[in-house]
Structure 1
């Protein structure tokens, strides 16, 4: 599988599996990985060439033949592997040596610390989670033989990720802080569109343009699910992730522009 319209997705999970299915319907040759043998069998039957691979195990000497592709998408969550930056860098190096020409890394907006509006130029972590993610970005970018695009994703919702359950019944500070979120349905629009482009920037934020207060959003999300709402203390300027650069580049808009409408539609 080495044509330009071929993609290998490492991590066929919450985002990776629906992305693989979407690309398959659009005529892409799709391969990927999972740690679950039963899931691998199911996805292989669906036409997605799937390899069982535990990234915490020793790396193979060569890139697996079944994952040969023009573009690699790294959808590996930090909690799934030890020494996340080292592992992601090693996977990128192995993939490029195996013929991969382009790499997309699904990073996170945890790389932004402090408060205020954050654009792609403002990465400055203020905690170990963000520091680890930024180190992973740099490890992937170090293999410049491939074209690399870092997608910094805001909080992920949609599909099986129901925000009404996230904070239900718990107490938090910072109820006035804005939420920064992106819905699965928008990711499944944007990623195929950017795969069709060759003029990749180095980094792009992905964050819907609506940023209600945490207490309002998560309170309504819990209410609509019939769950106990979270309790929030006041205050908290927080940070607002600017995801508009993606729209200007792709000439596309987010489909989710009002999170309360989105929540109500999910309930219905």
Structure 2
């Protein structure tokens, strides 16, 4: 049995915790909501109310990390309301504040959930060898946070960069449905299903793939206009309307490293 702490039991962290417990692991799970503590407890997760801010971290972070070997960090940057011209890097500061607590704990390995947004809109096939070139504030801060964790010699860090997240209750077509003049109709689609997110994390842990970087996107990249039009029709949503005037992004995320290094097979029937 491995004791694992998951910082952020949200859309991905909660079902991930359940899956890890089902495989015989002990899981500490954190939430920022008092009301959610009972949900974690009912799922046999050891519940903790933990907040990580740019100025401070909850005192109970020490107990949350205690006796765990692995820490999974799954907290989104949430920077949409932050002024990009501000010199203060809010998410980066959060990770900076968290690191001293990791150093003092029993944590030996860290898995940091990141995003393929760190590559910006680079064209062509994107692999782990592609140099990040983020064009959003969240992407820029994710790159800096990754570096902080990777360069720390007190624990081993694996970076897992997910493409667009989908699941039964989450799909970008719901946002695009009925919209007009959507850009980049010919762009490849880069998505990853919640089930594959969990399966890949389990594979990394089971195979001890630490001090690595992995891109995670389903190994199929249909054309954006065709895919989302078809999905909207299947879900009885208003069809999106695309504009061919702005069509210049051809980025396709490769998951060959995951398939080869982890011997992982994607569950393509979910897509």
TM-score with structure 1 setting the length: 0.89
Match of residue 74 from structure 2: 75
Deviation for aligned residue 1:237: 3.8
Match of residue 18 from structure 1: 15
Deviation for aligned residue 1:189: 1.4
Match of residue 29 from structure 1: 26
Residue 53 to residue 159, structure 1, CA distance change in 2 (3 Å): farther
Deviation for aligned residue 1:59: 1.7
Residues 54-92 of structure 1 deviation map (CA, whole Å, 9 limit, x = unaligned): 223622467421332100000001118971112123223
Q: Would you say 1:180 and 2:186 are equivalent positions?
A: no
C-alpha RMSD of matched pairs (Å): 2.0
Equivalent of 1:130 in 126, 135, 139: 139
Does the 8 Å CA contact 1:85/1:137 hold for their aligned counterparts? no
**Residues 63-212 of structure 1 aligned to structure 2 (within 5 Å):** 63-68=61-66, 69-79=68-78, 83-113=90-120, 114-128=122-136, 129-171=138-180, 172-212=182-222
CA distance in 2, matches of 1:97, 1:201: 20
Does the 8 Å CA contact 1:164/1:224 hold for their aligned counterparts? no
| Unaligned residue ranges in structure 1 (runs of 5+) | 264-268
Deviation for aligned residue 1:143: 2.0
Deviation for aligned residue 1:106: 0.5
CA distance in 2, matches of 1:103, 1:201: 9
SS in 2 for 1:106: strand
Match of residue 239 from structure 1: 251
Would you say how many aligned residue pairs link Structure 1 and Structure 2?
Answer: 256
Equivalent of 2:56 in 58, 70, 75: 58
Residues 17-40 of structure 1 deviation map (CA, whole Å, 9 limit, x = unaligned): 000000011000001111121211
CA distance in 1, matches of 2:44, 2:123: 45
